[in-house]
Amino acid sequence: MISKECFVNLMNIILDANEKLDLFEDSIDQWFDVSVYGFKPLSDLIDKLIDVLQNEMDDKFDTISWWIYDAPSAGKEKEHCIITYENGDQFGVYTPDDLYEYIFHLEDKSE
């Protein structure tokens, strides 16, 4: 497992790259009458980084990719980034730091 500092740094790099990729796609859409989804080399690099993080964190439930791609704006919509366990306990995942702690917490609960 990688350190929390390294995980948070990599997650921030991924989030920044995704934001820039979105801006690039929006710019292309303004100039051309065609929708462009992703700049392939950057998209592939981001996907590979996520795969490495998930492997290093032993993220059995794909929580990292969920948070980046499916959680509302990667934690920016706070009311939608609360994970509720079956027993009713809740955990807010708003930042890469929270995500690291959640994966640790999840690992503790699965043992």
Of the listed ranges 54-58, 64-68, 74-78, 97-101, the least confidently predicted one is: 74-78
Which pLDDT value is given to residue 36? Answer: 55
| Whether residue 73 has pLDDT greater than 50 | yes
30-54: per-residue pLDDT in tens?
777 655 555 667 778 888 999 999 9
The four Cα atoms 49, 54, 56, 61 give a dihedral, to 10 degrees, of 180
Distance CA(100)–CA(35), nearest Å, equals 34
